[in-house]
Amino acid sequence: MGTVAGNAEPHGPVGQGIAMTTTADTAPASIAETVDRLRATFDSGRTREIEWRRRQLRGLIDLVEQNEQRLIDAMVADLGKPRFEAWLTDLLTTRDEAKFALDHLSRWVAPTRYPVPMMAKPGKAWTEPQPVGVVTVIAPWNYPVQLLLAPLVGVLAAGNCAVLKPSELVPETSRTIAELVPHHLDPEAVAVVEGGVDVTTELLDVPVDHVLFTGSTRVGKVVMAAAAKNLTPVTLELGGKSPTIVAADANLEVAARRVAWAKFLNAGQTCIAPDYVLVERSVASRFTSLVVDELATLRDEAEATSIVNADHVRRLEGLLDGHGGEELLPRKVDPSSRVLAPVVVREPDPSSPLMQEEIFGPLLPVLTVDSIDDAIAFVQARPRPLALYVFTESAETERAVLQRTIAGSVCVNHLIYQVAVPSLPFGGVGPSGIGCYHGKAGFDTFSHHKPVLRRPTKGDLKAAYPPYPQVAQKVMRRIARWPSRR
């Protein structure tokens, strides 16, 4: 194993618990040394300068724009991603996130004024955002560029230093990002640490000021427990089973096309993919037929993303065993390319693993419900999802779903696209996540909004201090309007 040091090329397998960090020189750096170096940069004060932040955001834009082919080649090598899909889902979204932050940074960093109550007058109150320090970003493999660099936008916009940990399951993408980061971002403020589970464990043991983790709920619990040892705040972007509700009044053709697209995208390996569909009984047969046709067309005509590895292929095949439903598309898998064709499962047993575990693959359960109320009750009875989708032409149905369900995000009459809106916060709730980022929400997540009160020294009345004269007590009670006047 080697180290990534400046322009050095790493050698050997990735993911065996060996730390590799980008540095400004050629000396290998341990994780603790890397964090110490970043903290020294932060303590120097230069990351607080708004021009430094702008330079980093421009550098991030350049990183994805100028290295489009290298990054796409890496994702194709790791995941078999279609090239256009890799550009659309990983590079474009990351670029747009950085551009949005760059365009709005001046407003985000400005102090916010707050009203002062009569008892605190004369005085002025405000908050001023300040960076928290060193932030660790731990990314998954399914969108390996976006889910590593999009959180970095908020980290840099807020004026922090960052440790980036790509997934060891995408070694080519990890290595490419590790090589590119020092060329486009301040190498004394942003470091890439490569390696496997042991490296992540070691990284979590080193005190930092915030950790953002994207991945499974199971691993999210491990990350949160590790961070708790140092009282480190966490943002957890997790997953779960994101439901899609199809109402009787929905445009069924559009709903089927969009559900099929969202399930086929990245072979269903998306944290906000539609995990299952609840469709009203009166249109269930029609919708199911339409979505089967759409997925059959995609199976035959569209370029598919590979399942990440053979273990995940076996896991997905296992979910198809014992589901108790009817498979409406034949099973088809190419072991050499790890491409698993989409399968629709009608009326699976709700207690089966297919309906209990997050699928994270191109399998689509479709269940019939008697009413929207039943669909809402089905969702309410299960852990709160990262995303929820509803197809309806009725404002009343839309409002009922929005008001009576709890989910990290909702998209009405489409899927996935809510994550592509850079101004819209994105995050989970309950077991699907803690906290959010994107746009100003990301800036706020990685900032401490420090409250400040300033009072003048002139006119400092002795009566405002003990022992309080009776007249002063009466005046202060009158100013405070105690008891309250209603």
Do 20-238+438-447 and 243-427 come out as alike in CATH topology?
no
The pair of three-digit structure tokens given for residue 262, joined into one six-digit string: 């969202």
DSSP string, 377-434: HHHHTSPPPSEEEEE-S-HHHHHHHHHH---SEEEESSSSGGGG-TTS-EE--GGGEE
Tell the CATH superfamily of the 20-238+438-447 domain.
Aldehyde Dehydrogenase; Chain A, domain 1 (3.40.605.10)
Q: Residue 302 pLDDT > 80, yes or no?
A: yes
Instruction: Tell me the mean pLDDT in the region 404-422.
Output: 97
Task: Give the model confidence (pLDDT) of 367-402 as tens digits.
Answer: 999 999 999 999 999 999 999 999 999 999 999 999
Peptide bond into 483 cis (omega under 30): yes
3-state helix, strand, coil in the chain (%, to 5): 45, 20, 35
Distance CA 70, CA 73 (A): 5
Residue-wise pLDDT tens digits, 442-479: 999 999 999 999 999 998 999 989 999 999 999 989 98
DSSP state of 8: P
Look at residues 369, 374, 373, 414 and name the one whose alpha carbon lies nearest to residue 390: 414
Tokens of 216: 């499974």
Domain ranges for the chain: 20-238+438-447, 243-427
Helix 50-66 × helix 146-157 angle, to 10°: 160
Instruction: Give me the pLDDT at residue 481, please.
Output: 85
Residue 237's contacts (CB-CB under 8 Å, 6 or more residues apart) are 147, 212, 213, 214, 215, 271, 386, 426, 427, 428, 433, 437
Task: Residue 264: name the closest of 318, 329, 354, 309 by CA.
Answer: 329
Residue 329 belongs to what H/E stretch? none
The pLDDT score that the predictor gives to residue 119 is 87
The yes-or-no answer on residue 161 being catalytic is no
* 227-250 residue pLDDT tens: 999 999 999 999 999 999 999 999
Read off the pLDDT of residues 124-142 as tens digits, 9 standing for 90 and up. Answer: 999 999 999 999 999 999 9
Please give the angle made by the CA atoms of 318, 305 and 245, to the nearest 5 degrees.
65
pLDDT exceeds cutoff 90 at 20: no
- Protein fold of 243-427: Aldehyde Dehydrogenase; Chain A, domain 2 (3.40.309)
pLDDT band of residue 2 (cuts 50, 70, 90) is very low
Q: What is the mean pLDDT of the chain?
A: 93
- How far apart CA 363 and CA 320 sit, in angstroms, is 8
68 catalytic? Reply is no
Residue 4: pLDDT above 80?
no
pLDDT in tens, 88-110: 999 999 999 999 999 999 999 99
Q: Which of 172, 237, 280, 294 is catalytic?
A: 237
How much of the chain exceeds pLDDT 90, in percent? 90
- CB-based contact 24:34 (threshold 8 Å): no
Beta bridge partners of 137: 164, 212
Q: What is the pLDDT of residue 484?
A: 80
* pTM for the model: 0.91
| 327 has a pLDDT exceeding 60 | yes
- CA 57, distance to chain mean position in Å, is 19
pLDDT at 15: 31
d(CA 74, CA 64): 13
Residue 479 tokens, joined:
């100013």
**85, 172, 271, 436: the active-site residue:** 271
